[in-house]
Structure 1
Amino acid sequence: MSLHKIFKYIALALGVIGAILLARVIITGDTTIEESADVQSSVVDPFMYVSYIVLAVVIGLVLVFVIKGLFSGDIKKTLISVGLFLAVFALGYVLSSGDNLNLEPFIKKGQDVTESTSKWVGTGLIVFYVLAAAAILSMVFSGAKKAISR
Structure 2
Amino acid sequence: MHKILKIVALVLSLAGIGILVGIISKGDDGIEKAAANGDTALVDYMSYVAYAILALVLIFVVIFVVKNIFTGGKSLKNTLIGVGAFVAILVIAYVVSGGDGVYKYNGLVASEGESKIVGAGLIAFYILGAVAIGTMLFSGIKKLIK
Same fold, TM exceeding 0.5?
Answer: yes
Pick closer, same or farther for the CA change 1:148–1:116 going to 2, 3 Å.
Answer: same
The equivalent residue for 1:120 is: 117
TM-score (norm 1): 0.71
Tell me how far apart the structure 2 counterparts of residues 131 and 16 of structure 1 sit (CA, whole Å). 39
Secondary structure of the residue aligned to 2:55 is: helix
Pick closer, same or farther for the CA change 1:70–1:46 going to 2, 3 Å.
Answer: same
Shift in Å, 1:83? 0.5
Q: Which has the larger radius of gyration?
A: 2
Tell me how far apart the structure 2 counterparts of residues 63 and 14 of structure 1 sit (CA, whole Å). 22
- Equivalenced residues, count: 143
The equivalent residue for 1:91 is: 92
RMSD: 3.7
Over 3 Å off, 4+ runs? 11-16, 18-23
Normalized per residue, the structure richer in strand is 2
Pick closer, same or farther for the CA change 1:98–1:37 going to 2, 3 Å.
Answer: farther
The equivalent residue for 1:50 is: 49
Q: Indicate if the aligned counterparts of 2:19 and 2:46 stay in contact, CA closer than 8 A.
A: no
TM-score (norm 2): 0.73
Tell me how far apart the structure 2 counterparts of residues 22 and 116 of structure 1 sit (CA, whole Å). 45
Question: Structure 1 vs Structure 2: percent identity of aligned residues?
Answer: 36
The equivalent residue for 1:137 is: 134
